[in-house]
């Protein structure tokens, strides 16, 4: 997973392909706070749910980068969309696996919501089309 393409202004642009096939660009500004997640005094690594923000407790934290950091650890850059908190840390495999499951669950929710929205939009378009047909507002030249 990559953070995106840096721009000359120091921003990052990430292209996201939606299920509809449309591509959008998400711009990340570098004015966000960046911290390094450090283990506590009794820990070798930080033990937390990675999807939970350490600043505002939002459960919407997502990775902007991750890469292997040894045979059993991952270096993960995190970002909270609520408070713009960012951090980088090294986490054990089991913690990253739990994070990946949370991300999968979140993706399923977003896709489900998107499908409902698309269905509602399509139903509205059909209703408008039917109303136009009934009103005689459509001509053969319209097609």
- Integer Cα distance of 113 and 42 in angstroms: 42
- Integer Cα distance of 32 and 134 in angstroms: 54
- Check: pTM over 0.85? Answer yes or no: no
Q: Which residues contact 54 (CB under 8 A, 6 or more apart)?
A: 37, 48, 85, 87
List per-residue pLDDT tens for the chain, 143 residues long.
Answer: 334 555 666 666 667 777 777 777 766 555 444 445 554 444 444 457 899 998 898 999 999 999 988 888 999 999 999 999 999 999 999 999 999 999 999 899 999 999 999 999 899 999 999 999 899 898 888 88
Reduce the DSSP state of residue 1 to 3 states and report it: coil
């Amino acid at each position: 997973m990559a953070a995106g393409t840096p721009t000359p202004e120091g921003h990052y642009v990430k292209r996201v392909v939606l299920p509809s096939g449309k591509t959008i660009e998400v711009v990340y500004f570098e004015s966000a706070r960046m911290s390094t997640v450090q283990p506590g005094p009794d820990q070798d690594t930080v033990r937390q749910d990675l999807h939970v923000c350490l600043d505002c407790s939002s459960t919407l934290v997502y990775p902007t980068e991750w890469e292997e950091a040894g045979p059993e650890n991952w270096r993960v850059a995190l970002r909270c969309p609520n408070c713009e908190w960012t951090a980088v840390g090294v986490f054990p495999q089991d913690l990253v696996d739990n994070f990946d499951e949370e991300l999968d669950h979140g993706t399923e929710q977003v896709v489900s919501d998107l499908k409902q929205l698309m269905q509602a939009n399509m139903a509205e378009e059909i209703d408008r089309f039917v109303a136009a047909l009934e009103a005689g507002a459509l001509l053969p030249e319209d097609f």
